[in-house]
Amino acid sequence: MQDAGHSCPLSHKTLARCHGILDVPLDHAALSGKQREVAAVIQSGEMLLLGDPAATLDRLVYPVHCLDFETFKPALPLYPGTRVHQAVPFQWSDHVLFEDGDFEHPELLFEGAGDPRPQFLASLLKAVDGEGSVVVYSSYESSQLKALAGDFPQYREPIAAIQGRLFDLEKEVVKQHVRHPDFHAFTSIKYVGPALVDELSYDGLAIQSGDAAMLPYEAVAAGRVTPAEWQRILDDLREYCGTDTLSLVKLLERFRELAQ
């Protein structure tokens, strides 16, 4: 279903006459369960919690690693063994949340020459080694870990161990338990974060999305920037990726409050 204020996408004749989501009759048989939930929260203006989010969150094991990757996709392969437009991870951020509420923030942004993947992978495996859930937002990190295991089979076992600890916050909590009018029927962290946590915003960042991070880093990797531009891009990347993982920490705190 589209955002509030946009034309109604349903094909039934009755619904086709509606001017927007505010006009959709909630008892109409053409609505799916999820469409009805989205329409209801937008019409009411109030958040809706479904199921038992507390039980879902109780599956988390401390220390909780809130993890995010950044990748870029060179049109022409820059490194041996890579393909055209292959996603090459070059940065990770990990906000580690402890049970007493404290957290620390290890991170890696590859700044050297050559393929960033060996250093990316070695540093990541060291940082998240041990116990504790690894919280991500979407399946992207899992897909990148799978690709790295294929490219670096010597690390297949420790990579599989990380994958076994993954907890997808979007899939497990947001999609299963939370409906909010300010999500506008989306579950992207760019909508969910600001809707639930007042201080979360990407508006002031020079880089505001993973797609926007790709091109400047590719320019760095290809040596097409001045030293001053190089430093500015790296600073912007650190701020953006760190904001993503801090957002996961804040969202976890907010979801625990809501669940209670």
pLDDT digits (tens, 9 = 90+) for 202-219: 888 888 888 888 988 998
Tell me: do 74 and 144 sit in the same domain. yes
Tell me: do 4 and 26 sit in the same domain. yes
* Tokens 């991500």, located at residue: 136
Q: Output the pLDDT for position 120.
A: 98
Measured CA to CA, the distance from residue 189 to residue 144 in angstroms comes to 19
Question: Tens digit of pLDDT for each residue in 83-117?
Answer: 999 999 999 999 999 999 898 999 999 998 899 99
**How many domains does the structure of the chain reveal?**
2
Measured CA to CA, the distance from residue 90 to residue 203 in angstroms comes to 24
Tell me: do 14 and 58 sit in the same domain. no
Tell me: do 145 and 207 sit in the same domain. yes
Question: Tens digit of pLDDT for each residue in 164-203?
Answer: 999 999 999 999 999 888 887 789 988 899 899 988 878 8
HSE-up of 131 (CA within 13 Å, CB side)? 5
Question: Cα separations (Å) of 253 from 12, 62, 178, 200, 222?
Answer: 41, 14, 14, 13, 40
This prediction's pTM: 0.84
Tell me: do 71 and 22 sit in the same domain. no
Measured CA to CA, the distance from residue 65 to residue 163 in angstroms comes to 12
Best CA proximity match to 249, nearest among 199, 185, 182, 177: 199
What domain range includes position 236? 50-260
Tell me: do 20 and 124 sit in the same domain. no
